Chain A
Amino acid sequence: MTLQMFVQSLINSILSGGVLILIAMGLTIILGIMKVVNFAHGEFYMLGGFGIWWFFAEHGLNFVLALILSVTLVGILGVAIERGLFKPFRENAFPSLIISCGILLVFRAATQLSFGLVDHAVPTPEAFKGMIQVSGAFLSKERLIVICITLALIIGLYVFIKFTKAGLAMRAVSDNPAAASLQGMSVDRISSLAFFIGSVLAATAGCLTGPIFYVSPTMGAEPGLMAFVVIVLGGIGSITGTVIAGLIIGFIEGFGAIPFGTNYATVMVYVVLLITLIFKPMGLLGHAEK
């Protein structure tokens, strides 16, 4: 493996790991707080991608503005779905899981109906263009910037959950909703907040990767599924576990793709998941934090 290949694989691993963590964090927060298994979570990622395509590529808005706009819209949509569909089934995993399957079908088909099944390209913003040379290896500036933003968001979320009052409330509700409401916390509001944060993070991931990959109605399928693999591998409810598992999967995909091909890399991810579950049925950190 040449240096160039190694560095490229490294960048790709961190990139796909980071994007996965962004999606999976929301998933695990929602699952922890509301006990809602949201199979439609990957669709927020897809909608974020379409948002950036629509506002930035189609209507020529400034990239940052387009990102904020599309992320906010998806966040509002997420809260609306939480209020309208998931709220009655809080604490009840099976009905919410089934409802989320319905939402997934509707979203995917609706975008397909509106924008067609073709891939839409999102141009790279001017500021992201170009390469950076680091000790003989060329790195895409775009990917590095996306990685930086992703890492900043992950750290930001971690700080938010561990050190702010709202984060404390989120952890308290996910630990014991009845006791939390006795402390004056509104379970309704915290649930909506969790859904808002979750859908915003997924949409942000969609916006950031839009220019790197393509935007299409089925783009949420694979990351949505992988995000589940991440949270199960890391242990449901564990933020640290999610980060570790996301990076593990990112590295398997990033480094496995070149010698074996992407499909075999994905096979390896699933095999790792199944083997982990044999020895640690609650995931890597499932017991420690939950």
Chain B
Amino acid sequence: MLKIRDLQVDYGGIKALKKVCMDIHKGEIVTLIGANGAGKTTTLRTVSGLKKPFKGEIWFNDMRIDGLSPQRIVKLGIGHVPEGRHVFKNLTVLENLKTGCYLRRDKEGIKRDMEGVFEHFPRLRERIRQKAESLSGGEQQMLAIARALMAGPTMLLLDEPSLGLAPVLVWEVGEIVAGINKRGVTAILVEQNAQMALSVAGRGYVLQSGGIVLEGTSEDLVKGESVKKAYLGG
């Protein structure tokens, strides 16, 4: 579904990604793990078009998408939940969700998806008229995910959805991602919390200073000594 070939990205002359190759298949949850600055966020930002690659190719459903504008990429069905939530603080919950379906014209579908989102996140329904800035951190994260779902994506990029959340909520986010995946959305999950990520994801890539150093199924990665040491705290 998503093919990344020899992707190179520069930030002001500094190489953020060096020759990254990835394959994401339909229906998977794939996690990217690695330390801060390993290039996880950059990978997502490049896929969603916020960052232009220096070299390399990105293919989505047999269409080359590297260098396209974020608008085009959203239209193709890739949703991006950026790091740090980035909900529209001065907009209400409902308005935030409406921005998610900005490009859609099918009123019936929007209505259906909105219902689906509220079923998934009942707490958002309670706060529908509230401004997003008045929500708690966990609720804002849910809103950010819900907003991305409103675009009806076939693939979702999630950047550190558990960042800054209480431990209980971290696992709740994991369950949410699994639930979304069950409904047929392929997901790439970037996480600091490798434990949670690997429990949800089927496969994973380990990034280190801009390159992939390890890849495999979650079980293999969990068993692997290096991952255990570096990212699972023991």
Contact = CB atoms under 8 A, between A and B. Distances in A.
Which range holds the interface residue count of chain A? 10 to 19
A285 to B, nearest CB: 12
A171 B91 CA distance: 8
Interface in B70-103: 70-71, 74-75, 79-80, 82, 86-91, 95, 98-100, 102-103
Contacts of A185: 71, 99, 102
Contact of A182 (B82, B90, B98): B82
Given A169-B99, A184-B74, A179 B88 contact: yes
Interface in B43-87: 48, 50, 69-71, 74-75, 79-80, 82, 86-87
A172 B88 CA distance: 6
A interface, over-half SS? helix
A182 B102 contact: no
Which range holds the interface residue count of chain B? 20 to 34
Given A184-B70, A184-B74, A179 B87 contact: yes
B86 A168 contact: no
B147 interface: yes
A182 B95 contact: no
A178 interface: yes
A183 B86 contact: no
Contacts of B79: 182
A114 interface: no
B143 to A, nearest CB: 11
Q: Which of A171, A178, A183 has the most CB of B within 10 A?
A: A183
B91 A182 contact: no
Contacts of B70: 181-182, 184
Interface of A: 165, 168-169, 171-172, 175-176, 178-186, 289-290
